Structure formats: C-alpha cells, structure tokens
A and B are shown apart, each in its own frame.
Chain A
Amino acid sequence: MAKIIIPTPLRKFTQNQASFEGNGSTVGATIENLTETYPDIKQHLLDENGKLRNFVRVYIGDEDIKALQNEATEVKDDSVISIVPAIAGGSL
C-alpha cells in the first residue's frame, strides 16, 4: 500500500485525513483508489478526461511523475506519493 500525502487545501474532501494508504500498482491506480474512497476530491485532481489537472503536480518520492512514466509510474509498498496543488497565499 503506497501512501498519498494529501495537501491542506484538499483535506476537506478526505474527512481531514492528511494521508491515505492506497491500493494500486501505478500512481494512476492509487489515485483512482483515493478518488473512489473520497469521490469529492476527484474534480480537484482530474479533468473530464481523467487527466491530472494543470495546477496539481504529483510526485513519487522527490521525483515529478512527468519525468517518469506519468500516471503509469509504478508504485511500491513503501512509495510516498505527494499531491502538490498551486497555492497563492491570499485573496482569491
């Protein structure tokens, strides 16, 4: 089970859980497991075509999945997946 770290702005969709232990052999499958468990988070992560949104980045360890195999990047049991959304720190 890989661990997904949920960023603060999205925790209201995960019942305030800061992390999620997800099933899946790839990053995409693990995120799918997350969105199945917490359906409200889905529209904040994925567009209509199921692609990761432009203002959200996903990392496995310290590596951007775009520099690996994107959603098809393999995950191991001890993998840590970070979801990193844009934050502006202010008034919008």
Chain B
Amino acid sequence: MENITFSKKELERYSRHLIIPEFNIEGQRKLKAAKVLVVGSGGLGSPLLLYLTAAGVGTIGIVDFDVVDDSNLQRQVLFSVDDVGTPKVEAAKKRLEGLNPHINFVVHNEPLTSHNALDIVKDYDLVADGTDNFPTRYLVNDACVLLGKPNVYASIFRFEGQLSVFNYTNKEGVLGPNYRDLYPTPPPPGLVPSCSEGGVIGVLPGIMGSLQANEVIKVITGVGEPLSGRLFLYDAAAFETRTLKIYRDENNPLNGKNPTITELIDYDHFCGIVPKGEKQRDVKSVSVQELKDLIEKQEDIQVIDVREGYEYEIANINAELIPLGEIEAQLDKIASDKKVVLHCRSGKRSADAIELLEKKYGFKNLYNLDGGILAWADEIDTSLAKY
C-alpha cells in the first residue's frame, strides 16, 4: 500500500478525506488501490458511480447493456438529454471522466450473464449491485459468493428501499450472510410488480445508491462498521427506517452445510422466466396492425384495457377500462358473442386476464393484443406516450 502515491492535484482534491483522523491518507490509498464493479448504471448506479468516482476509487468497472432513454432522466442523474440514445456505459464514462480524471474506468457494454459473470467479477475486489431484476440479483450474489467478493446491495420499489452488505468477511475473519440467506428463492414472475409497472419515486434510488456508495467506501477502507448481517429498510413516504438482523442459513445452497450450487446456473429459469421467443402463453392474439384494420373496417368488436386508471391517464386507445383486479367483478361488461381484444401495457396482464376468463368462465372469443399499448405506440400512433 505504501507504493500508492498521490500527485499534488490529487492531494488537494481528496483533502477533506485526508483530514478525517480515522480515514486519512491510508483510507485514500486503499480507495485508490481498490477495484470496484458497479452492475447497472441506472437509478442506483448513478449516485454510486458519481460518489465512488468523486471519492477516488482507483478502478471502476461499469456493466450495462442499455441505452439512455427519456424515461431514465427522472432518476438517473448521471445522464443528460444529449445522452438519450447513447449506450449508458459510454455516456457514464464520459460524464465520470469529466468529474475525476484520476480514475481508471473499465466499461462492459453487455448484460451480465452466467457465461461472462465470473470472468468479469474476478478482476474486482468488490461488487455493488444496482440491477433491476431478480435473475441478475441472484447471478451477482452467486458470482460474488463463488469468488469470495463482498456484494454491496440495494433495491428499490416505489417509496421503499432495502440495503445490505452481503458476503462480507469481518476483521475477525467471520463471513456474513448473502442474498440467498435472506431470500432463498425469488417470487414467481408477476407476483411482485416491477418498477416499470409499479413505479419508483425518483429521489429514492438517489438516497439508496448514496448509502450504497458509503458502504462500498467503508468496506474498502475498513472505516466504520459495514451493514453486514443487517438489512436496512427505508420508507421514504412515511419516513420510517428499520434495521433488521440477517443470519447465515445452514440450508444455503451456496455455502451452507451441504452446498449444491458450485457454479453459476440458468437464472431466468431459476426465477421462472420463459425465454423470449418461446410462445409464453396459450392464448389467441392479434397484432396491433390487425386491430387497427378491424377498427378501420368498423368490425363489431369490443376492446378492453386491463391496466390501472392512472396508466390510462398517461396513454390510451379509447378502449373500455376494466383493471385486471376488477375483471371478475365486471364480467357482465365483457361480451361473449363477438370478438373481444384485451390489451395492457406490454401484453402480459391482458394474457393473464384471458387465461382467467377462459379457464374459469369459459370465454372463447378473447384475443390478446401482442405487445400491448407499447407496440401500438411504436407502430400505429407514435404520438402516444410510452411509459
């Protein structure tokens, strides 16, 4: 560590760290020597990357396969209007290099998968998980456990955030719990609404990602007590915080008493996700073009929108609104003697509705709108807002 040196410019830049007695130049040296991988450069990744860069973490890897979209700017403060359409890793690197030229950035413009995860993660000391879906959560966790890297975790939903430090070995050499100790298996798809369905208040990832950055710095420098073996919960709406205990579970398939997972697995399958391309549902469907033709020919059809009222307010195609949760209570409104097209945002909830109506009530005249209102906005009416 003694061979890590700083230029005059760096010393001046980091001076507010250097004058904290328990942090000092030793802490700064550890930061400069550290290699941190940030998975996901979105809502959580933005503050994480900004603060880790500003703080002087020597090597920062960024994994993301996405491009910047207008709907990101509500919370992903790394990006600007000019970045829309640009790969996130490129836009992030450009912004972060402007913030601190003393950092070595490594970009991985690809999704993290079971095939590349071990190869990417192995070069880093620590991973910060700012991803947005269950398969990648388990993938990041398992890769970290298999490679013995700490995993600084945060997750958000609407007004609620979770934070913890997983797979951390403390100063006494005792290993703490990981994500599978907390949640052995993921919820089946559809049971927990996503952020794109459920929404998230824009400031929340800013708060949780900043807390994550602080934990990363603590783990690297050894200053303070990392949030290992504890789960921090933040309810931004009520302003309630709770810190709960997490224990290692002897049944953990990665590092419990009888480990059964010794390499990375198929995480989409583990999380119950049917690969794209495979016919997901056994329901009849129409394309947006077919629906447009039916409407233009003034065919006698019924079109039902199964989304929520607040989604209808954002964009609609003048369909009858019957939210999925009210379908059974409003059965009498659904025609059984003519073609009925159901739609939602992307086609999933309307397929759920059709399955229910066919199995439980014997409907035979229902068609799912492929791709939902998003496909309609792409192909038929580009003036509609996509969300």
Contact = CB atoms under 8 A, between A and B. Distances in A.
Contact of B194 (A54, A84, A88): A88
Interface in B145-203: 154-160, 162, 182-187, 189, 191-196, 198, 200
Contacts of B193: 9
Given A7-B160, A88-B155, A92-B194, A54 B183 contact: yes
Nearest to B271: A92
A30 B240 CA distance: 22
Contact of B134 (A12, A59, A84, A86): A86
Given A88-B132, A91-B194, A92-B192, A82 B242 contact: yes
B44 A54 contact: no
A54 B198 CA distance: 22
B244 A82 contact: yes
Interface in A1-43: 5, 7-9, 12, 18
Nearest to B196: A91
A78 interface: no
A46 to B, nearest CB: 13
A57 B304 CA distance: 37
B132 A89 contact: yes
A36 to B, nearest CB: 20
A12 B137 CA distance: 25
A45 to B, nearest CB: 11
A8 B157 contact: yes
Nearest to B191: A44
A55 B187 contact: yes
Interface in B202-238: 205, 231, 233, 235, 237-238
Categorize the interface residue count of chain B. Answer: 35 or more
A85 B158 CA distance: 14
A63 interface: yes
A9 B160 CA distance: 9
Given A8-B160, A9-B157, A84-B233, A89 B44 contact: yes
Interface residues of A, number: 27
B195 A89 contact: yes
Interface string A40-77: 00001000000001110101001110110000000000
B133 interface: yes
8 contacts: A18-B238, A57-B182, A59-B244, A82-B244, A85-B187, A88-B131, A89-B155, A92-B189
Interface of B: 43-44, 131-135, 137, 154-160, 162, 182-187, 189, 191-196, 198, 200, 205, 231, 233, 235, 237-238, 240, 242-247, 271, 273, 325
Interface of A: 5, 7-9, 12, 18, 44, 53-55, 57, 59, 62-64, 66-67, 82, 84-92
